[in-house]
Amino acid sequence: MVFGDDDGRIFNRFTVALDVIAHELTHGVSDREGGLSYQGQSGALNESLADVFEILTKQFHLQQRVSSADWLIGVGLFLPDMNARGLRSIAAPGSSYDDPVLGKDPQPGHMRDYVKTREDNGGVHINPGIPNHGLLPVSLIPT
């Protein structure tokens, strides 16, 4: 795996966030074992699986309880001048950033809001908010 340095304008170095490293590692596993096409809904599910393992890794590392976790993906990736908390939010898809340079986080949280597009391999980085958002209520079920 190769992780980029900061660009000095928007992003910090990508190794600043352990969860992002876990995300990319999960892509390696799912690419080899999962058989999910990286296009459209299948690609969004591929991203969601990586997000789930990313958030689990982060919560384990920080010893966060489900109820007190921030449920944000990629905290610390954006430079301080950006109006951004992270790349994606599991708890509130579409709320991670709203910045003049970045635009507004386009993540839908429900299938009725699925974004059909030809860009980004059919929205693989836009639509994982749909299955991601289902993780939070399941995680809060008492055991």
- pLDDT, averaged per 10 consecutive residues of the chain (143 residues), comes to 81 88 92 89 95 93 90 94 95 96 96 97 97 85 71
Which domain CATH number covers 57?
1.10.390.10
Whether 17 and 7 have beta carbons less than 8 Å apart is answered as no
Residue pointed to by tokens 């170095």? 13
With DSSP H G I counted as helix, E B as strand and the rest as coil, what are the percentages for the chain, rounded to 5?
45, 10, 50
Q: What is the pLDDT of residue 142?
A: 73
Q: What is the pLDDT of residue 135?
A: 85
| Residue of 74, 125, 82 whose CA lies nearest to 103 | 82
Residue 58 in any domain: the answer is: yes
Q: What is the pLDDT of residue 143?
A: 66
Residue 129 in any domain: the answer is: yes
Which residues are marked as active site? 24, 125
The number of domains in the chain is: 1
Residue 9 in any domain: the answer is: no
pTM for the model = 0.89
| Residue of 70, 95, 71, 72 whose CA lies nearest to 83 | 95
Which structural domain range is residue 128 located in?
14-139
